[in-house]
Amino acid sequence: MQFLIDHPITVFVITLAAMWLAGRLGVFLARWHRPDQPEVREAFSIVQGASLTLLGLIIGFTFSMAISRYDQRKNYEEAEANAIGTEYVRLDLLPPADAAKLRPMLVGYLQQRIRFYAATDAPQLRSVNMRIAELQADLWSAVAAPANTRSDPVMALVLSGMNDVLNSQGYTQAAWWNRIPVSAWMLLAAIALGCNMLVSIGGSKMIQEPALMFVLPLIIAIAFGLIADIDSPRGGLIHVVPQNLQAVLDSLPKT
């Protein structure tokens, strides 16, 4: 299911087909509908209106969830760039030999973090994550070595900055894992299918004009595809661009 959500175009196509089939099932069930009876017509209108209102609210709520997670990923990318840029400046507080050793490592780490955002397939992502883990261990070892021989507020500031660099990566990864739950997608799909059936059952003009049966399924499919696109960090067209990380890299002295 998660693999499907990571491909918004597939979500759009499957949703459109499923909603259209639900509409066709509603047309079949409309044979037993008795709109000529006032009490039946009134009760059906209430149920149909309430269901469509609920569907609209849930789609809006799910869209809000996707937007908040997208904004969170953007904010952590900015925080990570700030942490790396600040630590690069703080390396001036170290002895020249230690600073000269750490700067290329920090630049290499920054480059790997940019590649993390650009990775599109699983093997490439695994390679980048392995390299990031290695660089994190090397960076901490390199900054811990002078800290063992020098204990003062200045050294504590450098250690704190490196800790922020490492922590910011963890916060970013957690934000990328924070997705709309699969159970929420399933409930949303169930409500949407039911609404399509109800609209088809009560829509006599839809039976006479089959093209009208595509309207609601198409709208729902577009909404589902957009939500999946925003919620997927790597799939679809809407991505978090590491513009802040790239700006930090471009601002560093070329060696």
Residue 24 CA to residue 233 CA, distance in Å, equals 35
pLDDT of residue 36 exceeding 70: no
Number of structural domains the chain divides into: 1
Domain of residue 158: give its range.
Answer: 2-251
pTM as predicted: 0.85
13-23 pLDDT, tens digit each: 999 999 988 88
pLDDT of residue 2 exceeding 70: no
The pLDDT score that the predictor gives to residue 119 is 86
Radius of gyration for the alpha carbons in the chain, expressed in angstroms and rounded: 27
- Which residues does 129 contact at the CB level (< 8 Å), separation at least 6? 116
Helices (H), 30-121: 38-90, 96-118
Query: How high is the mean pLDDT of the chain?
Result: 87
The pLDDT score that the predictor gives to residue 24 is 83
pLDDT of residue 30 exceeding 90: no
Nearest to 245 by CA among 169, 135, 176: 169
Rounded mean pLDDT, 122-134: 91
Q: Which two tokens stand for residue 237?
A: 């067209």
Residue 143 CA to residue 122 CA, distance in Å, equals 31
pLDDT of residue 242 exceeding 90: yes
62-106 pLDDT, tens digit each: 999 999 999 999 999 999 999 999 999 999 888 888 889 999 999
Residue 3: band (very low, low, confident or very high) from pLDDT cuts 50, 70, 90: low
The pLDDT score that the predictor gives to residue 4 is 72
The pLDDT score that the predictor gives to residue 234 is 86
Higher local confidence (pLDDT), 43 or 157 = 157
The pLDDT score that the predictor gives to residue 40 is 63
